[in-house]
């Protein structure tokens, strides 16, 4: 049997090509990796957080999110697309958290999750972007729409196979009731204890530098079984308006700098060896007899 | 108008290749950051997922991921018939056939960024007078000895190892082994200014080994392409993948037998994949599994309408004697052009 026939058979039996499905199963940009991590021994921030709960079966279609530093009645999950009645779904928060799911199949990977605690004097919001394996629309419209008063909006979110990482700069838009806030302080805290503050520019954009602060791997932080190590961070900002204090936090995960476990020297060395291996080909071959085209 | 800018098929193909190289390496500038905005969702996968600036996706990475994450895990959980498997399967085939219906194997000869890079390097080699080496008896050896490699790579690295990894038999580091040895991953990310993919993972023995193979391959390809046309294409599993379905696409190479076929061998000389069958055979046998539909054989066939690039019943390009005569004045079938000389020969003064 010809090799092409064998491969045709294999390809017919297996779900072969699916570039459009890539987002359905590829590396999520961070949050899923957190699921396998043991809980941190102590709180590393006082900001309100939305954290992944245990997901022992490794389910991709839903996840358990728990809250920390905030006491919401529900988690609101905003979808990037789908039927109007499913664009925002509220999930009651139980003691262990809330199990959330995509609004509908094929509406998009990223969903925006909001926990809100409100009183006459203050509004506290914890927010995050959760990546489901659910291909569909990009999160552009999801991020553009106003979900609550004071917002920290990633601009952009990491795409598939990407993530926030140490030593990288990422942009975040801070807006209040849909309008960009200029000169607004945005505070970054990381699981490894770094803390820094950035100011938004006149367009409301803060360029956040993720610190190179990963500690050596321990049971408490970092390792997630496979792939680059990840840790948590939170961005927070506050504003007073009309006699109310607004506090909003956005938390997600960031990974260690790829340079930490990679060697450019080794990489270049093997590349050079490959080049050297090809150099004999550059020697001019002996001339062929006239009229011999090698196809006789 | 079109003929003014693109007087030959080769010139037109080069323009398409350069545009597609830009789109596949830097295309996010136009099509958006997020994967859902990529043209891959509407058209075929184009470029490397490790390149954060690209405009599309190489088809081989989702294939490995589907087999690893979807099929392997689904089999483990005995959920073969759930939506988690059936839906991606259907979507895969719909997208796959839509792609191949339009382009067929022309992806390799017109779109693939690594193919374009190799061709550009080969043009440099010809321009600087580096002698062309061919996969044929009397030079590098019979091309048929290399042909099985691409099938083995496709079977082992794109299908079997990702499936075994999904089943938990092999370690996670072997989840997408083809991408890990793919030289295009290294090349396209280097083009964006990132050395991350060139650097090897030092805390993972399997990752280190696979990455080392990728770097050996890209090093060999970059230098080897100066002397051999399309060195990596000959073992590329995507070529094999395309070959599996090449008969299903209306886009194809058509050849009729002529009295001179098998005698002049110019078409085979022009073929960047050194396919001797194009000179000797006709019909289906002439449209070989290694063909990338670049059209050079049709350009250099001196007989009218013997070799054609066709889409369905429509001939997109046909060999013509007058075209051939004009073409060989600028470039010989093996790609040889007037070499660049840095020092003037005193005899020419």
Task: Identify which has the larger pLDDT, A227 or A219.
Answer: A227
- For B88, the closest of A6, A18, A281 (CB atoms) is A18
> Does B303 fall in a domain?
yes
**In chain B, which residue's Cα lies nearest the Cα of A18?**
B92
pLDDT of residue A209 exceeding 70: yes
Same domain, B198 and B134: yes
Residues B237 and B256 reside in one and the same domain: no
Residue B110 forms part of a structural domain: yes
Q: For A49-259, CATH number?
A: 2.60.40.10
Which residues of chain B have a pLDDT value below 70? 1-2, 31, 35-63, 65-101, 338-349
CB-nearest to B45 from A19, A25, A162 is A19
Considering B217, B241, B265, which residue would you say is the last residue of a domain?
A: B241
**Contact status of A182 with chain B (Cβ, < 8 Å):** no
Binned at pLDDT 50, 70 and 90, residue A296 comes out as very low
Where are chain A's structural domains?
A: 49-259
At A59, the pLDDT band (50, 70, 90 cuts) reads: low
| pLDDT on residue B345 | 59
Distance between CA atoms of residues A63 and A105, nearest Å: 15
Q: Is A108 on the interface with B (CB under 8 A)?
A: yes
The per-residue pLDDT for range A132-144, each reduced to its tens digit, is 878 788 899 999 9
The C-alpha of A292 sits at a distance from chain B's nearest C-alpha, in angstroms, of 10
**pLDDT at residue B47 in the model:** 54
For A93, phi and psi rounded to 5 degrees? -95, 115
Query: Residue A262 is nearest to which of B139, B202, B265, comparing CB atoms?
Result: B202
User: Phi and psi (nearest 5°) for A49?
Assistant: -135, 150
Q: What is the total count of domains within chain B?
A: 3
User: Any CB–CB contact under 8 A between A293 and chain B?
Assistant: yes
Residue in B41, B216, B244 nearest the CB of A11: B244
Domain boundary among B212, B241, B270: B241
Q: Which residue in B64, B76, B236 sits closest to B162, CA to CA?
A: B64
Judgement on whether residues B172 and B148 belong to the same structural domain of the protein: yes
Instruction: Return the beta strands (E) in chain A as ranges.
Output: 49-52, 63-68, 74-78, 88-92, 98-100, 110-118, 122-131, 150-154, 164-165, 169-176, 179-180, 185-190, 195-199, 205-209, 230-241, 244-255, 262-263
Confidence of residue A295 (pLDDT cuts 50, 70, 90): very low
Contact call for residues A161 and B194 (beta carbons, < 8 A): no
- Minimal CA separation from A132 to chain B, in Å: 13
Residues B205 and B150 placed together within one structural domain of the fold: yes
Q: What is the pLDDT of residue A130?
A: 93
B234 and B313 in a single domain? The answer is no
Q: Which of A17, A19, A226 sits opposite B172 (nearest CB)?
A: A226
Task: Give yes or no for a contact between B184 and B59, defined as CB atoms under 8 angstroms apart.
Answer: no
Q: Are A262 and B200 in contact (CB under 8 A)?
A: yes
What is the pLDDT, as a whole number, of residue B87? 57
Q: Which residues contact A104 (CB under 8 A, 6 or more apart)?
A: A79, A82, A83, A86
Q: Are residues B138 and B229 in the same domain?
A: yes
User: Are B36 and A16 in contact (CB < 8 Å)?
Assistant: no
Q: Are B49 and B163 members of one domain? A: no
Decide if B269 is inside a domain. Answer: yes
Q: Tell me if residue A218 falls in helix, strand or coil.
A: coil
Which contacts of A92-99 are long-range, i.e. CB under 8 A and separated by 24 or more positions?
A: A93/A67, A96/A53, A96/A64, A96/A66, A97/A53, A97/A64, A97/A65, A97/A66, A97/A67, A98/A64, A98/A65, A98/A74, A99/A62, A99/A63, A99/A64, A99/A65
pLDDT tens, residue by residue, B269-280: 999 999 999 999
Same domain, B259 and B217: no
Residue at B23 is within a domain: yes
DSSP string of B173-225, one letter each residue: GGSSHHHHH-HHHHHHHHHTT--TTTSEESS-HHHHHHHHHHHHHHHHHHHHT
| Per-residue confidence (pLDDT) for residue A248, from 0 to 100 | 98
> Do B274 and B299 share a structural domain?
yes
Contact by Cβ (8 Å): B100, B74: no
Range of lowest pLDDT (A51-55, A257-261, B93-97, B140-144): B93-97
Range of the domain at B53: 16-58
Interface of A with B in 38-77 (CB under 8 A): 58, 61
The span from the CA of B40 to the CA of B49, in Å, is 11
- A122/B contact by beta carbon, under 8 A: no
Predicted-assembly ipTM surpassing the 0.90 threshold: no
* Residues B114 and B183 occupy one common structural domain: yes
With a CB cutoff of 8 Å and minimum separation 6, the contacts of B236 are B108, B114, B150, B153
Residues of B in contact with A109 (CB under 8 A): 35-36
Q: Do B137 and A271 touch (CB under 8 A)?
A: no
What average pLDDT does chain A have?
82
Residues paired with B254 in a beta bridge: B308
Least confident of A211-225, A255-269, B144-158, B295-309: A211-225
Residues B139 and B256 in one domain: no
- Residue count (chain A): 296
Note the pLDDT of residue A185. 98
Q: Are residues B171 and B149 in the same domain?
A: yes
């Amino acid at each position: 049997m010809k090799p092409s026939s064998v491969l045709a058979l294999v390809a017919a039996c297996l779900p072969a090509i699916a570039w459009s499905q890539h987002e359905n199963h590829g590396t999520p940009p961070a949050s899923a990796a957190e699921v396998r991590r043991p809980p941190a021994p102590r709180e590393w921030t006082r900001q309100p957080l939305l954290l992944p709960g245990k997901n022992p079966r490794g389910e991709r279609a839903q996840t358990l999110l728990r809250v920390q530093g905030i006491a919401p009645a529900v988690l609101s999950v905003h979808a990037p697309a789908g039927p109007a009645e499913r664009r925002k779904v509220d999930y009651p928060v139980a003691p262990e958290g809330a199990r959330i799911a995509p609004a509908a199949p094929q509406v998009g990977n990223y969903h925006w999750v909001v926990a809100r605690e409100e009183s006459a004097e203050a509004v506290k919001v914890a927010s995050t972007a959760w990546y489901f394996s659910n291909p569909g629309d990009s999160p552009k419209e999801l991020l553009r729409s106003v979900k609550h008063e004071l917002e920290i909006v990633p601009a952009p979110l990491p795409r598939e196979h990407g993530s926030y990482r140490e030593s990288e700069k990422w942009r975040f838009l801070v807006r209040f009731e849909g309008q960009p806030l200029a000169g607004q302080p945005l505070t970054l805290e990381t699981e490894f204890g770094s803390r820094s503050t950035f100011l938004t520019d006149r367009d409301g954009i803060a360029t956040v530098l993720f610190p190179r602060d990963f500690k050596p791997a321990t049971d408490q932080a970092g390792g997630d079984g496979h792939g680059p190590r990840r840790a948590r961070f939170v961005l927070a900002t506050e504003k007073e308006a009309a006699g109310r204090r607004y506090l909003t936090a956005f938390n997600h995960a960031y990974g260690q700098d790829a340079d930490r476990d990679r060697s450019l020297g080794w990489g270049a060395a093997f590349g050079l060896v490959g080049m050297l291996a090809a150099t004999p080909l550059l020697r001019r071959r002996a001339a062929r007899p006239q009229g011999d085209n090698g196809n006789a | 108008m079109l003929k003014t800018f693109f007087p030959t098929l080769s010139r037109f193909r080069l323009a398409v290749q350069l545009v597609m190289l830009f789109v596949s390496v830097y295309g996010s500038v136009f099509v958006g950051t997020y994967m859902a905005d990529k043209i891959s969702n509407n058209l075929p996968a184009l470029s490397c997922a490790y390149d954060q600036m690209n405009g599309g996706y190489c088809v081989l990475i989702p294939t490995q991921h589907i087999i690893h994450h979807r099929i392997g895990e689904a089999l483990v959980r005995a959920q073969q018939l759930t939506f988690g498997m059936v839906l991606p399967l259907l979507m895969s085939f719909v997208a796959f056939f839509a792609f191949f219906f339009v382009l067929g194997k022309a992806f390799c000869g017109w779109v693939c960024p690594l193919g374009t890079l190799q061709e550009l390097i080969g043009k440099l080699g010809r321009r600087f007078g580096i002698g062309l080496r061919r996969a044929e008896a009397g030079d590098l050896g019979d091309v048929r000895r290399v042909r099985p490699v691409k099938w083995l790579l496709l079977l082992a690295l794109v299908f079997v190892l990702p499936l075994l990894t999904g089943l938990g038999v092999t370690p996670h580091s072997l989840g997408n082994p083809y991408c890990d040895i793919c030289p295009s991953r290294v090349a396209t990310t280097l083009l964006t200014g990132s050395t991350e993919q060139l650097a090897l993972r030092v805390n993972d023995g399997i990752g280190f080994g696979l990455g080392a193979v990728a770097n050996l391959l890209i090093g060999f390809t970059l230098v080897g392409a100066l002397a051999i046309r399309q060195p990596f294409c000959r073992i590329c599993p995507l070529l094999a993948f395309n070959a599996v379905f090449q008969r299903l696409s209306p886009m194809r190479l058509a050849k009729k037998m002529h009295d001179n076929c098998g005698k002049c061998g110019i078409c085979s000389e022009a073929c960047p994949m050194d396919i001797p069958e194009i000179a000797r055979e006709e019909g289906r046998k002439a449209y070989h599994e290694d063909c990338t539909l670049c059209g050079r054989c049709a350009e250099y066939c001196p007989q009218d309408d013997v070799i054609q690039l066709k889409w369905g019943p429509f001939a997109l390009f046909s060999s013509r004697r007058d075209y051939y005569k004009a073409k060989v004045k600028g470039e010989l079938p093996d790609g040889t052009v007037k070499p660049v000389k840095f020092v003037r020969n005193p005899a020419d003064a």
